[in-house]
Amino acid sequence: LAQVRAASAMESADEDEGWANVSREEWLRKLDCADLFESDIHNVVLNYLAVQGFQDAAEAFAAEAQLQPEVPLDSVGRRAAIRQSVLAGDVQGAISILQALDGSILLSFPEVHFRLRQQQLCKIIADVCCVDCRRRQIVSRGKWNEPSSLPDR
C-alpha cells in the first residue's frame, strides 16, 4: 500500500510539474493554435450556469444561444437545493429532496446513499465532540458545580 501511494504521489508530482513549466507565452501560443468554436464556448457557459444552480439564467442563455441543453434545465433548481442542503450540513434534508423527486433514486445509486449517510454520521460525531469539548471547558473553569452550565447531549 505504501508503494502504491508513493508511486501515485510521484506520478501526480510529475503531471503538476509539467504544467508548472509552461510559460505564459507558450500557453497563449498553444491557445492560438487550438480550434475553439462559438458553440463550444456557449456549451461551457450553459454548463457552468446549470451546475452553479442559475436556472433562470441558464434557460435564458439556452434560448438566446439556441442551445439544446444536455440535461433538463428544470432540474437545476432541485440540484441546487440538494447541494445547498448538503453544504449546510442538512443531509437528511438532501435525502428528503431526493426521495421526493424519485423514491428509488437512492436505491439505484447505493454509493450516493452511502456517502450521504457517511457525511451525516461525520456531522453527528463532530457535534458530539463539540459538546464534549464544551463540557471539558466548563469543568476546567470550575463551573461544574452548576448543573445548568453543562450542555445536554
Quick one: three-class SS letters along 49-61? HHHCCCHHHHHHH
pLDDT at 147: 57
pLDDT tens, 46-60?
989 988 888 899 999
Torsion angle defined by CA atoms of residues 104, 109, 113 and 118, in that order, rounded to the nearest 10 degrees: 170
Q: What is the pLDDT of residue 17?
A: 55
**Distance between CA atoms of residues 102 and 57, nearest Å:** 26
The pLDDT score that the predictor gives to residue 22 is 86
Cα(3)–Cα(9) distance, integer angstroms: 10
39 — pLDDT class (breaks 50, 70, 90):
confident
More confident residue, 122 or 149: 122
**Amino acid 73: pLDDT:** 84
CA distance 22 to 105: 44
Per-residue pLDDT at 12 exceeds 60 = no
Q: Is the dihedral of CA 109, 114, 115, 119 positive or negative?
A: positive
Which of 15-24, 43-52, 70-79, 144-153 is the least confident region? 144-153
Q: Is the pLDDT of residue 15 over 70?
A: no
Whether pTM > 0.85 for this model: the answer is: no
Confidence band (pLDDT; 50, 70, 90) for 114?
Answer: very high
In the 8-state DSSP scheme, what is residue 96?
Answer: H
